[in-house]
Amino acid sequence: MAEKDENVVFIGGKPFMNYVTGVVMQFTTKGAKEVVIKARGKFISRAVDVAEVATKRFLKEFGVTVKDIKINSEEFENKEGKKVNVSTIDIVLAKK
């Protein structure tokens, strides 16, 4: 999965619909063929919600489906300087 110019939506703590709208608009108004929804840690559940709502409620007639899902781990140093692992997810949505 080359991470070239693909459109990425990174999920955080903003209102849920911001992310859904962001994903939907990439396909509907910006003509994207592929959008990657990325999240880490506790936001992973949210990333799945965004993908589900975007594809099933808004993008069905556009032929957008989940093309690929990858999980991974990243190591980072927390505030105390301790190395911590955090899980990540990449959900690739694509127009058929």
For binding to its own copies (CB under 8 A), which residues are involved? 41-45, 48-49, 51-53, 56, 66, 69-73, 85, 87, 89, 91
Judged by beta carbon, residue 29 or residue 73, the one nearer its own copies is 73
The DSSP-derived string for the chain is: ---SS-EEEE--SS-HHHHHHHHHHHHHTS--SEEEEEEEGGGHHHHHHHHHHIIIIISGGGTEEEEEEEEEEEEEE-TTS-EEEEEEEEEEEEE-
Q: CB of 31: closest distance to its own copies in angstroms?
A: 25
Judged by beta carbon, residue 11 or residue 32, the one nearer its own copies is 11
Q: CB of 20: closest distance to its own copies in angstroms?
A: 13
Q: CB of 65: closest distance to its own copies in angstroms?
A: 11
